[in-house]
Amino acid sequence: MSPISRLEEDIKNLKVQGATNVALLVLDGLNLANEILKTQKNADPYVFLLERLIRLAFARPAEPLAQNALRFIFHKKQPSPEEYLQLASQFKKMISESKNKMGKYGSDLITNGGVYLTHCHSSTVSNMFVSAHKQAKQFRVILTETRPLYQGRITANELIDAGIKDVTMIIDDVATSLLLQNKMKISGVFIGADLLSQDGFINKVGSLGIAHMANESHIPVYCSSILLKFDPRPYSDELLEHRQSSEIWPDAPLKLQFYTPAFDFVPYSQNIQIISEAGILKSHEIKKEALKSYPFITPSTLPDIN
């Protein structure tokens, strides 16, 4: 197996999780592809590098952060391969700067005595809670275990390691009734996003029910996401990845069938706001702000390599 194919399989098999980590791996893959390029005679660097990076960026369909990296790096042909590597470094810096900007907006929403629910694992959400904790705010975090891969445990470890004392885990099925009855007086829901679109966002399966129940109980939902995750394509259900049944039950009976979506598409509603590097946005502001901040994110497809 070639090194690029190995990276592609790692992304598909979830050895690398999280939109930011996937995007960074794709950008690191550019270095690897460039080393392979040096062994090729008469290869067009633009075509050679882009062909290999497209494989990585689209290994999982709902990864616009990685795909927008390609839009930025390959928007036009460069004089040398090193120019593409420099653009990749610039994109990494854009990710870091964007996350730093949005950190303050998120932590300002955390109040003393607040109770907050989160689902799955989002590095931006974890960082927001940690930032609020460093400001000496006292609050409670309720988090789901997030079956079948238990990403909630990642969140729990991050928060506890940061010194946040009041962290409670629930099984996924408890979240909807907890929100609807609101016995714990939840102040807000904070979740991440793998993809932002004009009409809604994609996040871990279970997010739709959580957002709906929060709306029924008039609990605000904050989706924490950098605008670099905006997908200029019209939303399609084909973007909702389905995972292998073995993730749910490795030794299942042979004739048992499974339905295994990994993500939910959550339509924007009145109680959903986006915490971004441009501030806290309403749904109708997302596309405008994304294209204003990052004009290379266009509705067109990636550059033609033919």
Alpha helices in the chain (DSSP H): 3-12, 19-37, 45-57, 64-73, 81-107, 123-134, 152-161, 174-181, 207-216, 286-293
Place of tokens 């794709």: 26
Neighbouring C-beta atoms of residue 240, cutoff 10 Å: 17
Return the biggest CA–CA distance within the chain: 67
Place of tokens 């799955």: 120
| Residue-level pLDDT at 225 | 96
| Residue-level pLDDT at 53 | 94
| Residue-level pLDDT at 101 | 86
Across the chain, mean pLDDT equals 93
* pTM, 2 dp: 0.91
> What domains are defined for the chain?
3-100 (1.20.120), 102-293 (3.40.50.10470)
Please list the ranges in the chain whose pLDDT falls under 70: 301-306
Express each pLDDT in 162-183 by its tens digit.
Answer: 999 999 999 999 999 999 999 8
Residue 49 near residue 37, CB atoms below 8 Å: yes
Residues 6+ apart with CB under 8 A from 266: 200, 201, 202, 203, 207, 208, 211, 223, 272
Distance in angstroms (rounded) separating the CA atoms of residues 29 and 27:
5
Distance in angstroms (rounded) separating the CA atoms of residues 296 and 214:
35
| Residue-level pLDDT at 273 | 96
- The pair phi, psi for residue 24, each rounded to 5°, is -65, -35
User: What sign for the dihedral angle of Cα 229, 205, 104, 26?
Assistant: negative
Neighbouring C-beta atoms of residue 282, cutoff 10 Å: 11
